[in-house]
Structure 1
């Protein structure tokens, strides 16, 4: 039997980090190597192998890091993964163009994956959108995204990712955003032609899906050859 994959969770005191810690028990192929968070968050990580940010270099051995932190903390964990030749999975948003360039450069040394959305269903939807756009040349393409009233950015990062997929297929997507109630996330991609239309829809009803997707990615990225991977590359 293979040994469990050792995971370091970076940003462990945040909402996604706490969800990752809670759901690790569902993944027998994974084991927690360390939970990394700012020192002030230590009380929220009782029972975990805790390492404050200041001691990042002192973290124990790990096979893959899952990063849901802030741009200010992103560089340190990526550098540690490059130094130790371990896989890197990140959903940290708001990265500067220089940070994205460093991430791309790191992919020459280690396997890396950055995604705006870790839903496995959205990864499949992205592939379907690109295929539909390529096949339905000349059709109108519209993306409608709906989220809770507290979400400030619009269009959502996921909508833009789907739009990029449509663009790769040759479409010119238009966007519409709705903010209502406590909607976790809904994305509709519509292709309309003369007398017919196709609607591709993904609805998220629980935020746990994003943590489960990140754990899925970590389990499949660890030990891979260096490169920049997409979530859809790791679905099998």
Structure 2
């Protein structure tokens, strides 16, 4: 099931990073495979999907029920998952059983799912991020600095995604809220939208989710006070941004010690506060 980094005899190059991709028939699974086939030094060793799926970018897609045996047969370095909360946990557990590192870009984990992933990270390196966009990582740092620089300003977070996105607000919006609250201890209440008689109260952060068309992802943090406003925005124009970032994460994660990692670690930030594991935009 290899896709890239072929040697003259059709095998993968010895130095290639070998990845397994779950949810290969989904939007992001396909994007990850396509990005991997276009990247030197990366080989798709395994691609699986729960329903029958045609080959993606020349990579055959197997039944997800065979994941355990396929991991054993192909011995990939990292599994990349963009599926759903329950399946992501199950796939991560299968990967951990095989000693395979895990990159997760999945949405909407509850507290049980988060705890399960944390436990698995004690066995293998596991990286979960709310966004794999480098620009978004830069936005997070800028937001923390800006919020600290203007104490007392009101803060509102707005996110926009395509009309098929299920969770609201987005995982990235929740991560941005974590960033805001890590700097501003006085902001401790998230207000989701406003209706009727709803003036701002002390301690509030406004949160707004919009779903329209085929918008990939847009996040804005608005700070207002002292007769001025500051707006910090990131827009992702294509899902390939997230796929490329996930591959960057996979390359970085391979060979690491077991533990829980974030995309900010990949970019060398090291200053991001812990997040609430709320998922990733896709």
Which TM-score applies when normalising by structure 2? 0.76
CA RMSD of superposed structures (Å): 2.2
Map 1:119-198; keep pairs closer than 5 Å.
119-170=133-184, 172=187, 173-198=205-230
State the alpha-carbon separation in 2 of the partners of residues 156 and 165 from structure 1.
14
Question: Does the 8 A contact of 2:23 with 2:48 survive in 1?
Answer: yes
1:60-112 deviation digits (Å, cap 9, x = unpaired): 20100001122332233212222232211011223232121011112222211
* Residues 85, 109 of structure 2: 8 Å contact kept: yes
Q: Could you tell me which runs of 5 or more consecutive residues in structure 1 were left unpaired when the two chains were aligned.
A: none
Number of paired residues?
235
Deviation string 1:17-47 (CA, Å, 9 cap, x unpaired) is 1111111123212111110112x32434584
Provide the residue aligned with 1:43 in structure 2. 54
Compare 6-15 and 191-200 and name the one that shifted more: 191-200
Q: Deviations over 1:189-209 (max 9, x none)?
A: 122231333221101111211
| Cα distance, 1:141–1:203 mapped onto 2, change above 3 Å | same
Alignment of 1:1-236 (within 5 A): 3-38=15-50, 40-45=51-56, 47-59=58-70, 60-170=74-184, 172=187, 173-236=205-268
Query: Which one has the bigger helix percentage?
Result: 1
Q: Which residues of structure 2 form unaligned runs of 5+?
A: 1-12, 188-204, 269-282
Evaluate the alpha carbon distance shift between residue 51 and residue 151 of structure 1 in structure 2; reply closer, same or farther with a 3 A threshold: closer
TM-score, normalised via structure 1 length = 0.89
Structure with max Cα Rg: 2
